[in-house]
Amino acid sequence: MTDHLLPADLAQTDLLQAYQQCRADLQSLSDGRQGSGAGWATFTARQLQVVQTIAPDPATLASQLATVPFDPATGFGWTLWQSERGVQACSLATLLADLSAQSVPLDGEFATATASLALQYRTGAWHLTQLIEVAPGEDVAVLACDQAYLARPPAAGHLQYRVYWAQDSNHGYRPRWSRLLHLEAQADKAA
């Protein structure tokens, strides 16, 4: 990079240093080395079934949640309730038991070993998305990689997700869906 193309007052800023570090990281990746904090994800081929539904009211939401293709007692996840201040870890069975007109979920994710359910309240209805890994030859062929993210607050642990990349005819492979794999709470770390 040639610093003489930049204004003198910009040449010494943090922004420029961050830009130069980014360029160095990209260069080291293209050289086959790993830059500071950068790394490659391991992708695997998967088959994914995606089911999306909309529930306009709490009664419809309850009936749709009761018909998900996995046992609610074995699923785990989190929910953000209208009446609560933060996210709560819970099972799908707990969500079904707590669902009422007075307290409704605004957002949530639940998972088992091969399936997940995400619910979001937006535009006056609940949007449910089920992601189910299926046998080869069925439904959508995707690439998948597992990612870990810090929970909020960070002391809560990590969230483990599987990110699915689908082919886009205009842009190649792009991240399209993600599903919760694991909630690593501080209790998990101590065990």
pLDDT at 91 exceeding the cut of 70: yes
**Residue 120 lies inside a defined structural domain of this protein:** yes
| Token pair in block for residue 22 | 């980014």
- State pTM to two decimals: 0.69
| Token pair in block for residue 7 | 């204004």
**Residue 150 lies inside a defined structural domain of this protein:** yes
Residues in Cβ contact with 75 at an 8 Å cutoff, skipping those fewer than 6 apart: 91, 92, 93, 110, 111, 112, 117
Domain extent, residue 117, equals: 44-190
Residues of the chain with pLDDT > 70: what percent?
66
Residues in Cβ contact with 34 at an 8 Å cutoff, skipping those fewer than 6 apart: 28, 40
- The number of domains in the chain is 1
**Residue 10 lies inside a defined structural domain of this protein:** no
**Where does residue 13 fall: left (phi above 0), alpha (psi -120 to 50 degrees), or beta otherwise?**
beta
**Residue 156 lies inside a defined structural domain of this protein:** yes
* Span 107-161, pLDDT tens digits: 989 888 888 999 999 989 999 999 988 877 766 778 888 888 776 655 556 788 8
**Residue 3 lies inside a defined structural domain of this protein:** no
**Residue 4 lies inside a defined structural domain of this protein:** no
Residues of the chain with pLDDT > 90: what percent?
13
Longest Cα pair distance anywhere in the chain, in angstroms?
A: 66
**Residue 15 lies inside a defined structural domain of this protein:** no
What CA–CA distance (Å, rounded) separates 5 from 120? 48
**Residue 5 lies inside a defined structural domain of this protein:** no
